[in-house]
Amino acid sequence: MKAELLVSTETLAARLGDPDWIVFDTRHDLAWPDKGREAWQAAHVPGAYFMHLDQDLSGPKTGKNGRHPLPPIPDFAARMNRCGVAPGRQVVVYDDGGGSFAVRLWWMLRWLGHDRVALLDGGFAAWKRESRPLDAAVPAPREGRFEPRPAAGMTVDANGVAALLGDPAAKIVDARAATRFMGENETLDPVAGHIPGSHNRFWQHNLGYDGRFLTPEELRAEFLEELGGVSPGRVVHSCGSGVTACHNLFAMELAGLAGSRLYPGSWSEWCADPARPVATGPK
């Protein structure tokens, strides 16, 4: 396993209280937005700061930029600095949903130049199942030295995605469940379907039965088969709102297939413009 991407529960337990390790709890429920914060207030990994998907990891919505647009960079940087993020400090992120929300913070920190960030493999479920320490205390603010440096080439906007349609040397990978991808059982967005030509890989396929990630070798074999010869740098990840798309991007990184990009607006942005094409069905 790549230690820089995944941290085991054993490793984190041994580092509790280490001032050079910063832990973030990103638990969330799309249908119950306050559930994650309430769960964190009840019990969390000792010292873990809470980051709310809507309030901390997303920006203002316009009705055209998707359900979870990226937040203003200065605002995000200020939040990280209040929690002690600084060069050389290890950040660990977790949730209770297989990493489906934690990957958003992982990706954002990497995008903005902080490479020392990892997911807790197995997340809060594994931590609790193993009877590891829990706390309900609110951690005190810390002084950080996080200076965001947005990396070029890690994102693609709607126009960039449109330019890829029909290009056999590129692939758009959609992380939503198959039914939503096909245009069935759509409960979150006003239009059902997917970006024409995109390929569906449900993000949960990156996990084993125990909620931990598959091995890099397993992930590599699966992604190489699904990409069909398309190079990682020509892969764009999408989902409903640019969150679980990061899960497939993370899995590709774990598999040694670095360089794929994120479409942050994803389907919720794409379908907000009726002029953009929509596809339904399995392909």
Specify burial of residue 26 (Cβ count, 10 A radius: 0-12, 13-18, 19+): buried
158: nearest Cα among 257, 242, 250 = 242
Location of structure tokens 């920190």? 109
Instruction: Specify whether 239 is catalytic.
Output: yes
Write the burial class of residue 273 (CB in 10 Å: 0-12 exposed, 13-18 middle, 19+ buried): exposed
Q: What is the sign of the dihedral through the CA atoms of 136, 19, 124 and 26?
A: positive
CA dist., res. 257 & res. 218, Å (int): 12
Whether 60 and 36 have beta carbons less than 8 Å apart is answered as: no
Q: Are strands 21-25 and 90-94 parallel, antiparallel or unpaired?
A: parallel
Ordered strands of the 21-25 beta sheet: 6-7, 117-120, 90-94, 21-25, 49-50
State the catalytic residue, choosing from 83, 239, 246, 271: 239
Q: Which residues are catalytic?
A: 239
